Amino acid sequence: MVNFVIKNKTAIITGGASGIGEAISKKFAEAGVFVHLLDYNKKLGDEVVNKIKSNNHEAEFHFCDVSVQSEVNKIVDEIAGGGTIDILINNAGVAHVGNAENTNEEDLDRLYRINVKGVYNCLHAVIPYMKKSNGGCIVNMASIASVVGISDRFAYSMTKGAVLTMTYSVAKDFIDYNIRCNSISPARIHTPFVDGFISKNYPGKEKEIFEKLSKTQPIGRMGRPEEVAELALYLCSESAGFITGTNFPIDGGFIKLNS
């Protein structure tokens, strides 16, 4: 197995306190990256940072609502004041179930603020520092919902489609500054969110529903957060130095084999 080591780098990882974000935070720290974990859940964020530090790796937690530009700017300025920002992982996001008819305005605005404006806020704050150091790597967390139609994911698909096209724009606009920008599009990944969703909506049928959802991926199972983290690590390593402006599905065959 190849280990993609990117030591002596500094990374900002949003939504890094749980699920995919937690796996990315831990994986990057293990690779020698100083991880700045931004999240709205202080308890979970502190727990992840403590786990990372207990393994003699470097990490710091920052309480942040990525939808508030002033908060993002303040934290990014503080981090950059201590050196460069080499990596940005735009992972923070929220899900929603609903179609164009039953999605209300409040939910649409909430998803836009976090999933779209939150990504913009981080890009807007970090890119000037990457330009100053003439280089950087950005990975945006999109979704298979960015590129294929999925039932009852109207608002979520809208936001992840925006993440995908922001990725292309950033890659194009800042390539002359040696800034690479790619996106990852996971299918269903087994996180605590999935377990909570099943328990809340299908009490007593957890095992049955879990198996049903697992089988929506042609490969027959859900992905693991660590698998997404490995892909993110690769994309931010020198091994991926020729890759920019590209979307990477990690979907167990969902997009191609279900079409």
Tokens matching residue 76: 């990014």
In angstroms, the CA 172 to CA 181 distance is 9
Buried b (16+ CB within 10 A) or exposed e, 61-93: bbebbbbebebbeebbeebbeeebbbbbbbbbb
156 is catalytic: yes
Q: What burial class does residue 43 get, using C-beta atoms within 10 Å of its C-beta: 0-12 exposed, 13-18 middle, 19+ buried?
A: exposed
| Contacts by residues 207-215 (CB-CB < 8 Å, ≥ 24 positions apart) | 213/188, 214/188
Tokens matching residue 181: 């920008």
One of 40, 120, 129, 156 is an active-site residue; which one? 156
User: Which residues participate in catalysis according to the annotation?
Assistant: 156
